[in-house]
Every structure is written in structure tokens, then in C-alpha cells.
Amino acid sequence: MAPLNVAFAQIGADWQGGQTLVINGIQALHRARPDAVQAYILGDASSETDAYRRATDADGIVRYTPPARASVSRIAGAALIRLRSYNLTLERALLRSGVQVLVGESVVWRLGKVASVGWLWDFQHLHLPELFRADEVTRRERKFKLTLRLADRILATSSVERDAHEFAPAYASKIRVVQPLSVIDPTVYERNAGAVVDKYGLPQRFFYTPGQFWLHKNHRRLFEALRVLGCQGVRPHVVLTGSTLEYRDPEYFPSLMQYVAECQLDKQVHYLGTVQRADVLDLIRQSICVVNPSRFEGWGYAVDEAASVGKRILASDIAAHRDQSPPACEYFDADNADELADRLRNIWDTTEAGPDAELESLARSRVASRVEAFGTALYAALCEAVDARRGECVG
């Protein structure tokens, strides 16, 4: 039987979680269906595309550059897109490489004989509308409705699927639920996790909060909890990593750091910037606990990654976190700094730094079954999409 040829758009070019999603998806497909899938990256001839392929360990690249702006092909293609939501030039590029299905964050056109699979990230604007301008809400809803209408299948987590049923019930039957998966290289456990302490000049014991500094990530509540503990004479250390870019409020990160300074938390809060994935995993292992105070998550990699490594977790009590059911996880009200402070103090007073042998053993014992489940579910959704597209083309 010929392998299924799937191409992935470069999800996460400006969002590390998106690239991680593609990495884990390709790895799971290769492990669960080693002879049944060939995975490619869709991109141009740039070095960025080459780097993305290397990072994701894809089997190759499908090179595609839109026709020149004033060319006949570009004008004719634009007419097809406008009148029929059909991208002929992209379809031809994919067919030349034998690709049967394209996976992307959004699906904004049909591709003729090539199936399309959309990956819905979240419906945050429905839950936290105050974080979005009206025009952005309109843009997001238009994109989501287009993806749900045009895609042959949709991938989503359980919480996103529930939102999609409310948002566009007519297309909900296309959705296939896939739970988060973080594939951890076993060599991680051979490293000395404590080396990050010397590398970054950190204290031995610390909480760790990885993730981009977006408004909904709720770092302010974590700092408020530290201020509450400071008034009690308890001063735990917190390490943070991730990008500080927040397009909705460019001053958000500076305002957070100003709050840290005003509350005299400077010596407790350690921001390391954007670090290599290997260091993220070592920081997880060395920490006493991974903390995620987020008000909303779609995919929720911070929690899943910590659970996949084998680390205790303190997470906000939101649907995405509950759906993951990670081992050794405690929940708190994302809007209650006092409750978070109490949880932090209890863990700070009772937990040692460094790898947790029991939790790491449990995490490693679950790897094979989790990868198989994720890879199988993803493969099935891709095959369904191809069959649906083939049936529509024949019909």
C-alpha cells in the first residue's frame, strides 16, 4: 500500500507552540505508522523553510511560491479564489509532489483534489472578549467559519471541540478530537538537570512558569500571589521563560516588570528570555513545580509538557487543563491570588528541587501508549479527509 503523503503548513512561524505541535504530530505519525506516512513541509525556497523542516524532522519540503503579482497565472488564480475559494496554483504544486492532504492552522481555500485539514487553536475571544478589539473578533470569527466550512476535517482538543459545537454546529461533524501530546526525547533523563542552575545563575529551588507573555497567560496573578506571600515573610523564587511580544498590548511585559519592581520581587523573579527547548526541559526537571496561571488555553502545552517530563504541576482550574487530567496536578482559581499563594506556600514548604524519580518513571511508562493514540487518531483524521475529498471530487 502506498504511503499517505501529507504536507504541513509552517504553523507557529511566530508562535513556538505551533512548531512544537507540528514536531510532535510528525513524530507521532512516524512512530505509530512508520511505513504508512510521508510528511512534508510546505514552504518557499528560503533558509527559514529549510530550518523549519530540520526542526520538525519532516521527510522533505514541497516548494511553493505564489505566481508573480502581475502574471496571468496570478490574475487567473485570484479570480478563482475570489469566486470559488479555490487555489489552483497551490493545488498543482502539491499534486506535483504527490501530496494528498495539507494540514494548516487555517483553511481559507479549497485545493481541488487535495484534502485540507484545519487545526483549531482556541476560541479565546468567546471567553475573554475584553482582550480583543472588535475588528479582531470579527477577523477571528471570519477565519474560523471559513476553516470550518472549507476544511475536509478539523483537529481540535476537547475544550475547543465544545466551543466549536456552539460556534458553528452545522460543521461540528467534521471535528476530530486529539489530545495534547509532548514527545520527550529519552536522552533528556541522562542529562544533569541541575546544570541550568549554574548556566543561568539561579537558586537551587524555584517554581517554573514557561510560556509567552500574552495577556491571557495571567502572569500578573502569579506576581500578586508572590506579593501576598512576601507579606507573610515567605519569598519563593520563580523562573520564567518565553517571548515578551504581545501584539494586543506592547506595553504588557514592561508593565509586569514594573509591578515586580514596585512590589520588591526583583530578587525572586528570574526572567531568562526565550531559551532552547533543551533548557526548558531541564528547567522543568530542576524546578520544584511547574506553575501555569493562565486564564485560557486551547492546546495547553505548558501543562502537558510538564506532565510528559514527569513533574508536579500547579495549574489554573480551566477546561483545557482539566481535560488533560495530568498526574500530580493541583488546581486553583485563576482569579484568586490568595488561593494561589496558599498553594505555592504549601509546595514551597514541602518539595525538594530536582528530578522526581517516581513521576518521571510514570511519565516514561506512558510514552508508547500516548504516542500510539495520538498518531493513530491523527492518521485516521488525515485518511478521512482524503476519502471525503475524493468522494466530493467524484460526486
> Residues 294, 299, 303, 306: is their CA dihedral positive or negative?
negative
346 shares its domain with 198: yes
Cell readout for 251 is: 506595553
Are 173 and 257 found together in one domain? no
340 lies in the same domain as 380: no
User: Is residue 189 situated within a structural domain?
Assistant: no
Listed residue (36, 311, 45, 33) closest to 182, CA to CA? 311
Indicate whether 9 and 158 sit together in one domain. Answer: yes
User: Is 395's pLDDT higher than 70?
Assistant: no
**Element of type H or E holding 74:** helix 72-84
- Report residue 80's pLDDT band, with 50, 70 and 90 as the boundaries: low
CB 228 within 8 A of CB 274: no
**What is the per-residue pLDDT across 166-219, written as a single tens digit (0 to 9) for each?**
999 999 999 999 988 899 999 999 999 999 999 999 999 999 999 999 999 999
Domain tally for the chain? Answer: 2
Residue 382 and residue 43 in contact, taking contact as beta carbons nearer than 8 Å: no
Residue 131 sits in the same domain as residue 237? no
Residue 330 in any domain: the answer is yes
d(CA 314, CA 222): 11
Is residue 378 domain-shared with residue 345, that is, in the same domain?
Answer: no
Query: Which pLDDT belongs to residue 81?
Result: 55
> Is residue 188 included in any domain, yes or no?
no
Q: Are 299 and 180 in contact (CB under 8 A)?
A: yes
What CATH number is attached to the domain comprising 376? 3.40.50.2000
Q: What is the model's pLDDT at position 305?
A: 94
Are 305 and 341 members of one domain? Answer: yes
Domain limits for position 111: 4-182+371-394
Statement to judge: residues 292 and 332 lie in one domain = yes
Lowest mean pLDDT among 62-71, 206-215, 300-309: 62-71
Dihedral sign of CA atoms 300, 305, 307, 311 in order: negative
Q: What is the pLDDT of residues 343-364, one digit of tens each?
A: 999 999 999 999 999 999 999 9
**Within-domain flag for 362:** no
User: In this structure, what C-alpha cell is assigned to residue 347?
Assistant: 509546595
276 and 312: one domain? yes
Greater model confidence, 238 or 91? 238
Angle, CA of 299, 305 and 308, to the nearest 5°: 120
Tens digits of per-residue pLDDT, 314-323? 999 999 999 9
Q: Does 391 score more than 60 pLDDT?
A: yes
pLDDT at 392 over 80: no
Q: Identify whether residues 378 and 316 lie together within a single domain.
A: no
Q: Tell whether 105 and 173 lie within a shared domain.
A: yes
341 and 222 both lie in a single domain: yes
Alpha-carbon distances of 304 from 61, 229, 364, rounded to whole Å: 29, 27, 13
